[in-house]
Structure 1
Amino acid sequence: MKPILHRMALAAIALVAILAARPALAFDTTAQYAVLMDAATGAVLWEKDGDVRMHPASMSKLMTLSMLFDALKSGTVKLTDEFPVSEHAWRAGGTTSGSSTMFAQVGSRIPVEVLIQGIIVQSANDGCITVAEALKGSEPEFAAAMTERAKELGLTDSTFANSTGWPDPNQMMTAHDLARLARHIIYDFPEYYHYFSEKEFTWNGIHQENRNPALYLDPTVDGLKTGHTEASGFGLVVSAKRGDERLILVLNGMPTNKARAEESVRVLDWGFRSFKKYQIFAKGAAVENAPVWQGTYSQVPLVAGNDVSLIMTPDQRKGMKVSVNYSSPVKAPIAAGQQLGTLRIEVPDKPVQEIPLLAGANVDRLGIFGRAMNALKHMIFGA
């Protein structure tokens, strides 16, 4: 048997092979770092230095919230539980700190649900420290646990020194990791995601509005978090859903709050307008019929085990190349579902995808007489 590579021009799905590399997507941003992700698949649609480590500022509070959501999901914490506000939380993140705060009073006890709202809507540093101390005893211990949990989630370029995003050389993430983290929150904690769309919150008699400008500029936006320090510039993690499509956008390193607001809406609009979902093959549909050696059937269909769909621009779709790789002929017996080859999909400016191709049917081996006749036929006719 010899491995063969089939290059297919499939008119039904208008796949046009290209010989030369196409230029990158002609789109840029004023942000220093950016990632646009398809939420359903986690595929990165467009990025700018998306895997370069950066200061995440308060966007790293998403990791603090993820740790709290983990505790809620495991049952070790309930929304009605009350966490005490220490003097450290009050001094480092409260009214005396000069930073974003929910104005928690030292010595008071605050329900977990209220802390979630304070951290999301008001970016409350005192709320984050209160959560950290309640879950792990101290903020340094909590930061170490954040780093460890990040590794478990595949956020390999993220390290944490605190729960708030306060400037520290060891408080680092990438835009790609932030997008992955946002996706984790959206899909693994759907029961808590609604808090991210709350536009206002009042605690301790003080009313504050959500700092996420995209919530007010785009009605399809429903989260997640902003950030700003001198070291990071202005940034945000935002998600929006239009129809059945959800995108996650991370921007960081912008010069002003105004630029952050305008850029978030501009990039989201471009993303929804430019990227579409294309079905390449349906689950169980024959991609190709492979010849069979010594089988009761002369061919076996090669099928994908699941729908094969890609999010891409129309230009990327035109430049897509599809190939099938398998050893021919396939030797009988063959069991339905047995992997026989791979489907390789190459799209300009996207990672190559290789998808297993499975036998679409059972093919029994010929009996002794049939195998002998088949061998004789091959010797005489070469087929």
Structure 2
Amino acid sequence: MRPMNGERVTEAVAGCVAALRPAVDRDWSTVPAAGLDWDCRATATHVADDLVSYAANLAGGARDAYVPFELTLDPGTDNAGLLHVIETTGALLAATVTTAPPGARAYHPYPFGSADREGMAAMGVAEVLLHTYDITRGLGLPYEPADDLADTVLNWLFPHVQPGPDAWPTLLWATGRGELPGRPPVTAWRWRNNLALPAERLTLTGVRPAAARDLRLGGDGGFDWLGSGPYEGTREAAGFLVKAYEAGLHRPEFGIFALVRAEDGRAVGGIGFHGPPDAYGRVEIGYDLVPEARGHGYATEAARALTAWALARDDVRTVIATVEPENIPSQRVLTRAGFRPATPEEEREARERHGMAEDLRLYVNEEQS
């Protein structure tokens, strides 16, 4: 797994400056940036403002709104000076991301109200790549970033976008800047940071496609795991997430989550959905813990938090879980988390309509009134 970190920010900024430097003697304020309402100079200033804003939000721990300031260039700043500002603000974001503690999050509105340090880095890289493209198209300059840098942005910010044969054209298509054969034009778009759900002692941290791919292949997914690492259920679920992502069917909020302990930042297990809600508003959850974390109520806490989040949505009416009859500890987890054993009729319907295996028992948690 190629990480999203301060080095990626530095790489993106270096590519931006190298692409734009040949045109520093031109008047950027008279040339429209391609596809935007801004001119090239305003777009470059916007890039610098975004870089320092993400750094400030992360460093300042912004919670409910952006840190209230805006970057303004000194009068008389020429294009060479503006590129220096981009380099400087990029360095500030890179340093902030590098020194932020694991699990640090700060305000960003899309779509869940916050972003972690990797998300802040990814947003900075995305701003640099995409707006450098807009500026160079306006100025008639060549520009194409490394495909693996674009791929990292897609994995971190566009988990809802099916990968294409090449990452850079896919990123351009996903942001309304290009075409892909067989796909309709994109006219509106948002990137998506991962969802993090706080619980009493845990944070349920959404797993991105790149991390899921690493978990499937035996890695740690970028998490510091307690004991011997993620249990087999988490790795298996990561594999299903990757398949859904590659098929263009992944809905990030209905993916999988690492259970990260607040006291030390260590991952103690995984929990997640088997897929998005069906036509009946039904979702199924599953979970596991590393052996060293069992017996402390973490699974109950996680199941309760994830279920409450799901049932608060308009598209979910029922949360279910299936369990082997002999797995008494898991049945106790579900009971403590507010689930009830299904009635014989509900189990019959689950087997006939939804294909539940005969050797499993069904537990149900229903819409709160």
TM over 0.5: no
Greater strand percent: which structure? Answer: 1
Greater Cα radius of gyration, structure 1 or 2: 1
